[in-house]
């Protein structure tokens, strides 16, 4: 065994393929890392090997990923293995580009104290641009324009290039004028949106060779995590930096490319060996997360995709529990089954946080939430309203942004009248007109005596108060801690007093959120002794939902399948496995769409460590419509022998012909060993219109009766659970006289 292998064996439990990846440091390397295959450990040890065994300076290594959580975990692991803190570039794409922009954005005629606009700020700018162009929001929907602008930036398409691609006079051509106006507004406000962070960095590197040369020489070794999720502009960014030394290692899994709808290009990973003909490929196929049964089910689904590199996950773990499938009558019945299973398993030393319910669309959560609440099961919705998106938090962040960047007109217009200072829309429009004529910023005009003198005494006093507070802390910001600036702004703007005077449940809740935001600032200051306002605003602007995930909270987690990527749970429920919902109707418009849906199913299945439940409902109320849907093709793609089969052989019909079981067959098969049923003869006692009571479902009324195959099926409308179909020969119901 050579010296390098000896070193790795002493310091890790890497498997042979992981070791090979760690040692392959020179030249292009593609690591195909399947779900749960230990890619973070591999990347971590590869960085340590470069530093300790190859003598590479940490300064010469760049490692980029997509979430702060993943970057932080990797950085911490490296520092633990090396035994000291390193100021390494282990960070997200956006953080890396932010660091470059803070040094060089002046070459694009921006100032280095630029502001970052979030999605809400973007919508505000777009609305203003639509108004300026006299375009109707009902025809030119803001979210649609926002998506077009984002797509253009992710592909490196400028407003002019987009305009040239559109027919003159078309709707798209008019959107191009909004895009151009949007860009001009951001430039005037010294602001960038999230997509600009990478786009502007690439613009600098492509047009300023001396800057590109510096970074190419600096980053002799580059590693990219989740390469399958890179879009065109991220691909160009990495390609520029790696062009000199070619020591580029990309890690990813084409089977987990689920973000093509927001720009991810699966061709980046599939064509890596075309981009780098001398590239080496290593597959990490040993899974450390899931049971053999779960991995087998995942493989049965994903192998039906054609646009993928051949691989198959395996594990040395035992087979584990078979997969549970439940066919519900309605979405409420489905949710009730999930709740009952959680309660049952919770009694076997499980925690609520061990359970995750992963659905295709947020709209599915309503029925699940209602039932979980009725069972007193604590739950948390992941990916709902973010803490940083709450009004009061956004308001105080806007104040901080103005202190940092006084030409940020979006933030000024947001809070100049928060709390109320008598500064209404007409006053703001008046100030804007003066600013346009003088070619000055809003804040510069607000500071002037001329505009103050043209306003009523009440309005002028309010404006003076606003301006004086901002000016005071603009001068002091470099001498003060962020927490002190925040505390002062809360009080001196009157924002906190206004909430306290309202004395309502809502205002008290908002005050609590503002206090919690102070904890965020304290945490930042604790970890960044030399931190400043600019850096803090940068940090929170790059926060994502996944960064707020707290695994220690004992609650069932509800989230979309897209949000679940990168997470894992002992028990996973995947409700809504129906044609038209999952896979979605839209996915059938192209083979690529259906393959992405299948990859999403693969991601969902491989989130489960020990137990997996796949459920679907014959009838579902969604978006105000009640529809019937056949079982999802993804369930039928799984080998039926992998499903739980405790009492009798599962009929092939459920997988091949999608034929319906009778309600009793569903109960008997899909809840095996949980009910012992004996046939009775009281069906003849019931008639349409009878009021009945069910031991579990409560009171209801019989709507229809159907006699078939020696059994009588009653359609019963229950007061609290809606309509259910029950076989009277077996159902525990009684007539109410």
Active site residues: 39-40, 225-226, 256, 607
Burial of 649 (0-12, 13-18, 19+ CB in 10 A): exposed
- Which of 326, 323, 348, 333 has the alpha carbon at shortest distance from 604? 323
What CA–CA distances, in Å, run from 108 to 114, 204, 208, 601? 12, 7, 10, 43
Task: Tell how far CA 112 is from the center of its chain.
Answer: 29
For residue 207, what are its two tokens?
């047009």
Contact between 26 and 15 (Cβ < 8 Å):
no
Q: Which SS3 state, helix, strand or coil, does residue 573 take? A: strand
Helix (H) or strand (E) holding 211: helix 209-218
What are φ and ψ of residue 247, in 5° steps? Answer: -90, 70
Contact between 549 and 592 (Cβ < 8 Å):
no
Task: Tell how far CA 259 is from the center of its chain.
Answer: 10
Rounded-to-integer distance, Cα 181 and Cα 577, Å:
44
Rounded-to-integer distance, Cα 553 and Cα 516, Å:
17
- Which of 115, 209, 195, 23 has the alpha carbon at shortest distance from 407? 115
- Which of 380, 298, 369, 304 has the alpha carbon at shortest distance from 612? 298
Rounded-to-integer distance, Cα 562 and Cα 291, Å:
22
Rounded-to-integer distance, Cα 117 and Cα 227, Å:
26
Q: At what angle do helices 505-527 and 391-404 cross, to 10 degrees?
A: 50
What pairing do the DSSP bridges indicate for beta strands 698-708 and 691-694?
A: antiparallel
Contact between 691 and 701 (Cβ < 8 Å):
yes
- Which of 387, 418, 414 has the alpha carbon at shortest distance from 515? 387
Rounded-to-integer distance, Cα 135 and Cα 187, Å:
22
Contact between 544 and 564 (Cβ < 8 Å):
no
Provide the terminal-to-terminal Cα distance of the chain, rounded to the nearest Å. 85
Quickly list DSSP for 325-387. EEEESSHHHHHHHHHHHHHHHHTTT--GGGEEEEESSGGGHHHHHHHHHHTT--EEETTSS-G
Contact between 183 and 78 (Cβ < 8 Å):
no
Q: At what angle do helices 482-492 and 533-541 cross, to 10 degrees?
A: 90
Q: At what angle do helices 232-242 and 93-104 cross, to 10 degrees?
A: 70
Rounded-to-integer distance, Cα 34 and Cα 312, Å:
8
- Which of 634, 654, 522 has the alpha carbon at shortest distance from 580? 634
Cis upstream peptide for 134 (omega within 30°): no
Instruction: Return the number of other C-beta atoms located less than 10 Å from residue 351's C-beta.
Output: 12
Helix (H) or strand (E) holding 598: helix 591-605
Contacts of 663 (CB under 8 A, 6+ apart): 329, 713, 725, 726, 727
- Which of 715, 708, 709 has the alpha carbon at shortest distance from 688? 715
What are φ and ψ of residue 628, in 5° steps? Answer: -100, 140
């Amino acid at each position: 065994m050579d010296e390098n292998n000896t070193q790795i064996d002493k310091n890790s439990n890497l498997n042979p393929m992981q070791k090979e990846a760690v040692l392959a440091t020179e030249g292009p390397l593609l690591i195909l890392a399947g779900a749960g295959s230990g890619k973070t450990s591999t990347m971590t040890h590869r960085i340590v090997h470069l530093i300790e065994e190859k003598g590479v300076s940490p300064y010469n290594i760049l490692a980029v990923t997509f979430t702060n959580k993943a970057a932080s975990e990797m950085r911490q692991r490296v520092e633990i293995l090396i035994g000291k803190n390193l100021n390494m570039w282990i960070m997200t794409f956006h953080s890396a580009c932010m660091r470059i922009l803070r040094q060089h954005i002046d070459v694009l005629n921006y100032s280095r104290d630029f502001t970052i606009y979030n999605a809400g700020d973007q919508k505000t700018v777009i609305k203003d641009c639509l108004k300026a162009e006299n375009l109707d929001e009902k025809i030119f929907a803001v979210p649609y324009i926002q998506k077009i602008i984002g797509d253009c930036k992710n592909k490196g398409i400028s407003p002019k290039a987009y305009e040239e691609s559109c027919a003159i006079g078309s709707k798209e051509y008019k959107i191009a004028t909004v895009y151009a106006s949007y860009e001009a507004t951001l430039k005037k406000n010294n602001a960038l949106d999230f997509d600009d962070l990478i786009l502007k960095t690439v613009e600098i590197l492509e047009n300023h060779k001396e800057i590109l040369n510096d970074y190419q020489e600096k980053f002799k070794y580059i590693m990219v995590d989740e390469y399958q999720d890179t879009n065109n502009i991220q691909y160009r960014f990495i390609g520029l930096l790696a062009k000199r030394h070619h020591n580029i290692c990309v890690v990813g899994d084409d089977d987990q490319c689920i973000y093509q709808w927001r720009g991810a290009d699966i061709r980046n990973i599939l064509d890596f060996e075309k981009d780098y003909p001398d590239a080496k490929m290593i597959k990490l196929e040993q899974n450390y997360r899931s049971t053999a049964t779960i991995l087998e089910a995942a493989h049965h689904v994903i192998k039906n995709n054609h646009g993928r590199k051949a691989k198959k996950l395996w594990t040395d773990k035992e087979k584990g529990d078979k997969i549970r499938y439940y066919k519900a009558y309605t979405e409420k019945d489905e949710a009730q089954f999930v709740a009952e299973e959680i309660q049952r398993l919770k009694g076997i030393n499980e925690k609520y946080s061990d359970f995750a319910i992963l659905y295709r669309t947020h709209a599915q959560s309503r029925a699940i939430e209602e039932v979980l609440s009725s069972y007193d099961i604590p739950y948390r919705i992941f990916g709902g309203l973010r803490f940083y998106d709450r009004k009061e938090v956004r308001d105080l962040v806007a104040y901080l942004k103005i202190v940092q960047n006084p030409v940020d007109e979006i933030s000024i217009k947001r809070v100049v009248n928060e709390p109320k200072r008598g500064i209404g829309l007409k006053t703001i429009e008046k100030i804007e007109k003066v600013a346009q004529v003088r070619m000055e910023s809003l804040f510069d005009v607000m500071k002037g005596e001329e505009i103050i003198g043209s306003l009523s005494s009440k309005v002028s006093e309010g404006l003076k108060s606003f301006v004086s507070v901002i000016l005071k802390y603009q001068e002091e910001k470099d001498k003060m801690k962020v927490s002190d600036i925040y505390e002062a702004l809360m009080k001196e703007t009157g924002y906190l007093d206004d909430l306290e005077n309202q004395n309502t449940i809502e205002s008290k809740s908002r005050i609590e959120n503002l206090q919690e935001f102070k904890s965020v600032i304290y945490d930042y200051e604790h970890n960044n002794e030399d931190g400043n306002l600019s850096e803090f605003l940068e940090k929170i602007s790059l926060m994502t939902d996944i960064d707020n995930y707290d695994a220690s909270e004992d609650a069932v987690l509800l989230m979309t399948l897209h949000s679940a990527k990168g997470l894992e749970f002992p028990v996973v429920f995947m409700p809504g496995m129906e044609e038209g919902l999952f896979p979605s109707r839209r996915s059938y418009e192209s083979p690529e769409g259906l393959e992405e849906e299948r990859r999403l199913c693969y991601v969902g299945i491989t989130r489960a460590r020990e137990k997996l439940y796949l459920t679907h409902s014959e009838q579902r109320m969604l978006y105000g419509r009640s529809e019937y849907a056949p079982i999802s093709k993804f369930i039928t793609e799984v080998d039926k022998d992998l499903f739980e089969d405790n009492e009798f052989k599962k009929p092939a019909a459920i997988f091949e012909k999608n034929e319906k079981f009778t309600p009793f067959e569903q109960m008997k098969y899909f809840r095996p060993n949980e009910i012992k049923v004996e046939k009775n003869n009281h069906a003849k006692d019931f008639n349409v219109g009878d009021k009945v009571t069910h031991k579990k479902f409560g009171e209801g009324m019989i709507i229809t009766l159907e006699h078939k195959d020696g059994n009588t099926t009653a359609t019963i409308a229950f007061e609290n659970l809606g309509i259910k179909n029950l076989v009277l020969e077996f159902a525990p119901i009684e007539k109410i006289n």
